């Protein structure tokens, strides 16, 4: 099909969106791709003008300004992420524009990252490396650098959706004792049975878990919920893992809790701000393992995310339900 015959224009807001999604769109649409990486809002606003759909390939705020710049013919939007905290969902809804996102395809990659962080934090990998770097390898001591066992542990999840369940599946291979989870809605009995999981309130999950894994969206209700009070309820031996959003944690309070050994360690793939400046106090702590938001960063996962987003856009343009609707 030549571009004149293509009915719809789609703007892809990042030049590094994997080719899989671009190819899918190109069969049926005229595809415009932003050139700036990292993305620049001015370019997005300019190129949005008159498009029928947006494949939002970055996590810049998707606000009313963008929707206004695009114009009233805008028929579909998809992000390429699971979390959509940077989207003004109320505004998109008000304009009755279908919005898609790309969860599920990233469950395995993010769960792998979570397990990696959990083991690294529990077994003090970062601190161990620092000991070598500073010539402090104390080979003569039996009880040096002891960590926390994963076997027989109680693993608590804050949020128990697809990513959390993929973590639970992996951890069942580590012979954990059981899973506690805190969510608004209970998951099915089958899922509870599969992971030996029980829904409990936030305080119970905090106080009874050996590992606490944050796997929930960032919302008004979850913002900063992991604060000094929450850390005060956790076991001194507990390990915190965050693969969701940095804003769910009060980072200053977490710093204090780790510094004063109120909790044992933390493994964070997400933080505030991102990128975290190299002089942030968190980097001075031996008991925190930090990753620069690598949860879904595998080639296959990114390709699957772009394909999901493209399918969402194509469905939205066809007036059909999206494969992964965000609401």
Q: Catalytic residue positions?
A: 293
- Name the residue among 29, 34, 52, 55 with its Cα closest to residue 44: 34
* Contact indicator for 234, 206 with CB cutoff of 8 Å: yes
Q: Is 32 helix (H, G, I), strand (E, B) or coil?
A: strand
The token pair that represents 14 in the structure block: 């990042």
- List, as own/partner pairs, every contact residues 125-131 make where C-beta atoms lie below 8 angstroms and the sequence separation is at least 24, other chains included: 125/289, 126/286, 126/287, 126/288, 126/289, 127/286, 127/287, 130/286
- Does the protein bind ligand O=CC(=O)O through residue 296 (CB under 6 A)? yes
* Nearer residue to ligand O=CC(=O)O within complex by CB, 37 or 318: 37
Applying the rule CB under 6 A, the residues between 80 and 99 that interact with ligand O=CC(=O)O are: 81-83
CB 298 to ligand O=CC(=O)O: min, Å: 13
CB 302 to ligand O=CC(=O)O: min, Å: 10
Applying the rule CB under 6 A, the residues between 266 and 295 that interact with ligand O=CC(=O)O are: 295
- Does the protein bind ligand O=CC(=O)O through residue 147 (CB under 6 A)? no
In sequence order, what are the beta bridge partners of 198? Answer: 180
* Contact indicator for 186, 168 with CB cutoff of 8 Å: no
- List, as own/partner pairs, every contact residues 91-96 make where C-beta atoms lie below 8 angstroms and the sequence separation is at least 24, other chains included: 91/63, 91/64, 91/67, 92/62, 92/67, 93/327, 95/67
Site size with ligand O=CC(=O)O, rule: CB under 6 A: 6
CB 10 to ligand O=CC(=O)O: min, Å: 20
Applying the rule CB under 6 A, the residues between 37 and 76 that interact with ligand O=CC(=O)O are: none
Q: How far is CA 62 from the centre of its chain?
A: 17
Site string for ligand O=CC(=O)O, 99-128 (x = CB under 6 A): -------x----------------------
- Does the protein bind ligand O=CC(=O)O through residue 246 (CB under 6 A)? no
Residues that bind ligand O=CC(=O)O (CB under 6 A): 81-83, 106, 295-296
């Amino acid at each position: 099909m030549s571009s004149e015959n293509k009915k719809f224009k789609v703007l892809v807001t990042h030049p590094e969106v994997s080719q899989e999604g671009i190819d899918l769109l190109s069969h049926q649409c005229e595809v415009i791709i932003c050139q700036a990486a990292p993305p620049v809002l001015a370019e997005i606003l300019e190129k949005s003008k008159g498009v029928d759909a947006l494949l939002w390939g970055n996590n810049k705020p998707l606000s009313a300004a963008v929707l206004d710049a695009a114009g009233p013919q805008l028929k579909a939007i998809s992000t390429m992420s699971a979390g959509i905290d940077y989207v003004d969902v109320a505004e998109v809804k008000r304009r009755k524009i279908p919005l898609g996102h790309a969860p599920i395809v990233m469950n395995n990659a993010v769960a792998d990252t979570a397990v990696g962080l959990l083991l690294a934090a529990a077994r003090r990998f970062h601190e161990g490396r620092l000991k070598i770097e500073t010539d402090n390898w104390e080979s003569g001591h039996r009880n040096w650098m002891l960590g926390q066992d994963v076997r027989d542990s109680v693993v608590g999840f804050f949020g128990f959706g697809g990513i959390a369940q993929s973590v639970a599946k992996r951890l069942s291979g580590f012979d954990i004792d059981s899973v506690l989870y805190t969510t608004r809605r209970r998951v099915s009995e089958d899922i509870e049975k599969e992971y030996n999981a029980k829904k409990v309130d936030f305080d119970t999950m905090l106080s009874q878990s050996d590992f606490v894994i944050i796997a929930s969206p960032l919302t008004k209700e979850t913002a900063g919920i992991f604060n000094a009070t929450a850390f005060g309820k956790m076991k001194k031996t507990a390990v915190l893992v965050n693969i969701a959003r940095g804003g769910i944690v009060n980072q200053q309070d977490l710093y204090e809790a780790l510094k004063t050994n109120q909790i044992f360690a933390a493994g964070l793939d997400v933080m505030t701000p991102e990128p975290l400046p190299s002089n942030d106090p968190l980097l001075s702590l031996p008991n925190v393992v930090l990753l620069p938001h690598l949860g879904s960063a595998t080639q296959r996962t990114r390709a699957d995310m772009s394909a999901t987003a493209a399918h969402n856009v194509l469905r939205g343009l066809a007036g059909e339900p999206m494969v992964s609707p965000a609401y």
